[in-house]
Amino acid sequence: MDNKINTWLEDILRSIDEIFDFLPEKRDFLEFQKDLKR
């Protein structure tokens, strides 16, 4: 895979991990979905 793409994918993965670290332990995504304004 292209190095540039691989770097982007690693950055995305790192960002997702940081988001999960920020969220509360109980990850009830249905509650997050209910809170979204459509």
Q: Which residue segment(s) compose the domain that 12 sits in?
A: 3-35
Tell me the whole-structure pTM to 2 decimals: 0.54
Which pLDDT does position 36 carry in this prediction? 72
Total structural domains within the chain: 1
Which pLDDT does position 13 carry in this prediction? 93
Which pLDDT does position 15 carry in this prediction? 94
Give phi and psi for 28, each to the nearest 5: -100, 90
8 Å CB contact between 27 and 20: yes
pLDDT in tens, 1-38: 688 899 999 999 999 889 888 877 776 677 777 777 65
Tell me the DSSP string of 3-35.
Answer: HHHHHHHHHHHHHHHHHHHHS-SS--HHHHHHH
Which burial class, exposed, middle or buried, applies to 20 when counting CB atoms under 10 A from its CB (0-12, 13-18, 19+)? exposed
Which pLDDT does position 11 carry in this prediction? 95
